[in-house]
């Protein structure tokens, strides 16, 4: 376990908690490095099917990049700090499902990390925004690209150009989060969803995610051809044989991940 990322495995779900509550879980270089190390380990760990990302405490998911690291830093050092592979992109392209459990401030790099996740569940007191403009900056963790895809260009422009924060209900209404629950229900709701997904075939989940993610980059005609190919790839697996057989035998499927 790292110093600033805590890990708790609940069945086939790994909960990664950014543990800097005194700094509202700001994304320091150490947080990003430890997160990358966990992602690398979990990627090949067959006992984990789904990741949940959250922040420690009840006030903040992630309040953005660590602003303390920006002061006095030369631009080329900043460029080095932003070198690939970046945690935002690794998460967005991750083969296993990743769910953001948003328990408070979800700002800047926090909002960008949440958008790199596959599904977002927020507590009703969460606050969202891309406040970089107020620092004389723009989003640098994918916000200018992922936010318009997530909520549409107009809402993305409004959020990025004003730096304003919005509440959870509005975030849900514009499609920035998929569900909003009371704070005391956040963990249970998220783990229920994560557990349900983690009970599916890991191989089929991977193929489904690959098809869905392709819709971000492919024209629809190419995406449909790609989906057909991936469908036939799923068709070739032992898990497809088991899934179909279990349905016909009226029993639960037992996935092998093959
Ligand atoms: N980077 C580094 N430290 C941060 C931080 C960030 N992004 N966000 C909060 N903190 C620190 C504060 O400096 C403070 O530290 P201190 O107690 O050592 O002074 C601590 O976290 C608590 O924050 P505070 O501002 O006192 O809490 P608040 O409830 O008054 O305000 C926010 C909460 C989120 C509105 C405010 O902290 C804020 O605007 N943070 C910056 C958000 C931002 O611009 N993110 C994008 C960065 S590119």
Q: Which atom of ligand 1 is nearest to the CA of 163?
A: 44
Query: Catalytic: 8?
Result: no
The DSSP-derived string for the chain is: --SSEEEEEETTEEEEEE--GGGTT-B-HHHHHHHHHHHHHHHT-TT--EEEEEESSSSEEE-SB-GGGTTT--HHHHHHHTPSSPHHHHHHT-SS-EEEEE-SEEETHHHHHHHHSSEEEEETT-EEE-GGGGGT----SSHHHHHHHHH-HHHHHHHHHH---EEHHHHHHTTS-SEEE-GGGHHHHHHHHHHHHHTS-HHHHHHHHHHHHHTTTS-HHHHHHHHHHHHHHHHTSHHHHHHHHHHHTTS-------
Q: What is the pLDDT of residue 167?
A: 98
Q: What is the pLDDT of residue 92?
A: 97
What is the mean pLDDT of the segment spanning 200-227? 97
Asked if the model's pLDDT at residue 96 lies above 90, the reply is yes
Q: What is the pLDDT of residue 113?
A: 98
Pocket of ligand 1 (CB under 6 A): 23-24, 26, 63-68, 105, 107-108, 131-132, 135
Q: What is the pLDDT of residue 38?
A: 98
Q: Tell me the CA–centroid distance for residue 44 and ligand 1, in Å.
A: 35
Q: What is the pLDDT of residue 208?
A: 98
Q: Tell me the CA–centroid distance for residue 62 and ligand 1, in Å.
A: 10
Asked if the model's pLDDT at residue 2 lies above 90, the reply is no
The one catalytic residue in 34, 38, 112, 227 is 112
Q: What is the pLDDT of residue 130?
A: 98
Instruction: Please give the share of the chain, as a percent, with pLDDT higher than 70.
Output: 100
Per the prediction, the chain carries an average pLDDT of: 98
């Amino acid at each position: 376990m790292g110093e600033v990322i805590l890990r708790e495995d609940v069945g086939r779900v790994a909960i990664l908690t950014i543990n800097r509550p005194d700094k509202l879980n700001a994304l320091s270089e150490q947080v990003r490095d430890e997160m990358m190390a966990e992602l690398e380990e979990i990627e090949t760990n067959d006992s984990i099917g789904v990741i949940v990302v959250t922040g420690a405490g009840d006030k903040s998911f992630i309040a953005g990049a660590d602003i303390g690291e920006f002061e006095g830093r030369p631009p080329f050092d900043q460029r080095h700090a932003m070198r690939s592979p970046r945690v935002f992109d690794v998460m967005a392209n991750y083969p296993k499902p990743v769910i953001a459990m948003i328990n408070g401030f979800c700002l800047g790099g926090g909002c960008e990390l949440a958008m790199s996740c596959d599904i977002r569940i927020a507590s009703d007191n969460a606050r969202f925004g891309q406040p970089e403009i107020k620092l004389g900056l723009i989003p640098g963790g994918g916000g200018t690209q992922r936010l318009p895809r997530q909520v549409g260009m107009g809402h993305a422009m409004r959020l990025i150009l004003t730096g304003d924060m919005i509440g959870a209900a509005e975030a849900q209404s514009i499609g920035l989060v998929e569900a909003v629950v009371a704070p005391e229900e956040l963990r249970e709701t998220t783990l229920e969803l994560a557990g349900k997904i983690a009970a599916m075939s890991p191989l089929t989940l991977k193929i489904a995610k690959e098809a869905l993610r392709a819709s971000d980059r492919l024209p629809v005609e190419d995406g449909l051809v790609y989906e057909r190919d991936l469908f036939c790839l799923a068709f070739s697996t032992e898990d497809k044989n088991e899934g179909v057989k279990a349905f016909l035998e009226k029993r639960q499927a037992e996935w092998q991940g093959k």
